[in-house]
């Protein structure tokens, strides 16, 4: 059933007010705005406001399962795409290239540590090898949105640490797809090495075409359209390209936000990039980006996490520990000092959509029960809330 316009407008108003109140609260607590937005989402969602409404005999004001909630969720997806597009536009390509080798090592050691520790904890707790493999896979991929937003909020994205975290998260996404492809094959009847090779080939073609062709054509195209006598032609063209590249990334099974970041990166050399950043920042932070983080909080169901037990606590602990150790080790081997290695590890901590997809596949294949999905939700929630706090802490005094 289509959502009523009045319901959508009401949801938009509540989400935006909650986001800005959360930002003010975070400022009072000297934390990044994203922390307040996530917290306010939890407060206005089913976990708190919804539960109170039910106790009083009223229907919840905000219900993410309604048609209006689904519509807001789509707008929230646009928000995270704009955030990563803006991050790409803001990058110095030379700095990003310099972080290439450290990013690869950081991503590799982080993936190995996350999978090994997740597998080990689940296996020790009595899960089968296949079930434990899904637990390890849940912890593999970093969700860079939280870290990028926090690093931008504290003005630390344009540092060697920030570039390494961003580059490692992009590589991490590709590695996560490889692990997911192997496990999905095993879950549904065997691994197809031809299919895996096809996936990797498509990813390689995507990056080659998007980066090589993009750097050649995007600056020229943006310069040309900026001269056309149409209002905001350059802005509309940039957004269209960002959405197009994001859609292509989804088609090759990468995250849409990876495509958005690549689109921003190839446009970062355009002469109009300064104007684009200002306008996209206004659109993004004025509407779409806060929606994403508040919506993350709204979709968190704290009541569903009450029965997951000690295994959940162990896996959440591993989820916070594995990336700090694994990615921090990669940073140390890349020449970072101890302090910066810790910062890289903390920046790689959040988990998101890839973790939920892995858990959902395991449940659908009847390899793991719904418990894993509940645990994964808890991992996403805790790492999303804790990361802004820890990033702010480890960067203090730098």
Query: pLDDT tens for residues 43-71?
Result: 998 888 888 888 887 777 888 888 888 89
Helices 100-124 and 309-333, interaxial angle, to 10°?
150
Q: Could you tell me the CA-to-CA distances from 85 to 25, 61, 164, 269 in Å, in that order? A: 27, 32, 17, 14
Q: What is the pLDDT of residues 135-161, one digit of tens each?
A: 898 898 887 777 888 888 888 888 889
Say what the pLDDT of residue 295 is: 87
Say what the pLDDT of residue 178 is: 76
Say what the pLDDT of residue 111 is: 92
Say what the pLDDT of residue 375 is: 82
Say what the pLDDT of residue 84 is: 85
For the chain, the straight-line distance linking the first and the last C-alpha, in angstroms and rounded, comes to 52
Helix/strand/coil (H, E, C) string of 366-381? CCCCHHHHHHHHHHHH
Q: Which two tokens stand for residue 1?
A: 């059933």
- Give the whole-angstrom CA distance, residue 255 versus residue 248: 10
- Domain with 315 in it: 5-394
Q: What is the pLDDT of residues 305-349, one digit of tens each?
A: 666 667 788 888 898 889 999 999 999 999 999 999 999 999 999
Say what the pLDDT of residue 312 is: 81
Q: What is the pLDDT of residues 379-388, one digit of tens each?
A: 887 888 888 8
- The overall average pLDDT reported for the chain is 84
Say what the pLDDT of residue 190 is: 55
- Give the whole-angstrom CA distance, residue 76 versus residue 88: 19
- Kindly report the number of other CB atoms within 10 A of residue 224's CB atom: 12
Confidence of residue 286 (pLDDT cuts 50, 70, 90): very high
Say what the pLDDT of residue 238 is: 93
- Give the whole-angstrom CA distance, residue 205 versus residue 50: 46
- Which of 170-184, 223-237, 307-321 shows the lowest per-residue confidence on average (mean pLDDT)? 170-184
- Which of 207-221, 257-271, 299-313, 380-394 shows the lowest per-residue confidence on average (mean pLDDT)? 299-313
Confidence of residue 21 (pLDDT cuts 50, 70, 90): very high
Say what the pLDDT of residue 297 is: 82
- Give the whole-angstrom CA distance, residue 74 versus residue 263: 20
Q: Could you tell me the CA-to-CA distances from 136 to 4, 190, 378 in Å, in that order? A: 42, 19, 15
Half-sphere exposure of 266 toward its Cβ, with a 13 Å CA cutoff?
Answer: 24
Residue 207 has pLDDT above 70, yes or no: yes
**Which has more pLDDT, 44 or 87?**
44
Domain count, the chain: 1
Say what the pLDDT of residue 17 is: 95
Say what the pLDDT of residue 273 is: 86
Record the pTM.
0.77
Half-sphere exposure of 354 toward its Cβ, with a 13 Å CA cutoff?
Answer: 31
Domain containing residue 71: CATH number: 1.20.1530.20
């Amino acid at each position: 059933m289509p959502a009523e316009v009045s319901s959508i407008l009401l949801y938009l108003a509540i989400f935006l007010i909650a986001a800005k109140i959360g930002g003010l609260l975070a400022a009072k607590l000297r934390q990044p705005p994203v922390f307040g937005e996530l917290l306010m989402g939890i407060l206005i969602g089913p976990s708190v406001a919804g539960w109170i409404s039910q106790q009083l005999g009223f229907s919840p004001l905000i219900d993410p399962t309604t048609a209006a909630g689904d519509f807001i969720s789509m707008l929230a997806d646009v928000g995270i795409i704009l955030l990563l597009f803006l991050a790409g536009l803001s990058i110095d390509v030379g700095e990003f290239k310099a972080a290439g080798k450290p990013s690869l090592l950081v991503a590799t050691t982080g993936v190995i540590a996350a999978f090994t520790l997740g597998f080990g904890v689940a296996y020790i707790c009595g899960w089968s090898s296949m079930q434990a493999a899904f637990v390890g896979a849940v912890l593999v991929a970093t969700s860079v949105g939280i870290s990028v937003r926090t690093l931008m909020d504290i003005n630390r994205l344009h540092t060697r640490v920030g570039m390494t975290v961003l580059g490692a998260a992009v590589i991490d996404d590709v590695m996560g797809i490889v692990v997911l492809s192997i496990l999905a094959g095993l879950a549904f009847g065997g691994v197809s090495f031809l299919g895996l090779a096809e996936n990797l080939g498509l990813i390689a073609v995507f990056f080659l075409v998007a980066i090589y062709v993009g750097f050649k054509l995007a600056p020229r195209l943006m310069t040309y359209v900026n001269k056309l006598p149409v209002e905001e032609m350059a802005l509309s063209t940039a957004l269209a390209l960002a959405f197009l590249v994001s859609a292509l990334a989804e088609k090759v099974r990468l995250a849409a936000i990876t495509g958005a970041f690549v689109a921003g990166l190839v446009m970062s050399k355009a002469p109009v990039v300064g104007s684009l950043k200002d306008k996209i920042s206004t659109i993004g932070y004025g509407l779409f980006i806060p929606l994403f983080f508040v919506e993350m909080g709204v979709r968190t169901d704290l009541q569903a996490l009450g029965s997951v037990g000690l295994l959940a606590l162990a896996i959440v602990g591993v989820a916070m520990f594995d990336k700090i150790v694994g990615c921090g080790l990669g940073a140390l081997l890349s020449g970072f000092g101890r302090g910066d290695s810790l910062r890289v590890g903390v920046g790689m901590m959040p988990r998101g959509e890839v973790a939920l997809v892995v858990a959902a596949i395991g449940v659908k294949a009847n390899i793991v029960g719904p418990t894993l999905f509940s645990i994964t939700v808890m991992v996403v929630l805790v790492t999303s809330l804790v990361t802004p706090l820890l990033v702010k802490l480890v960067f203090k005094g730098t």
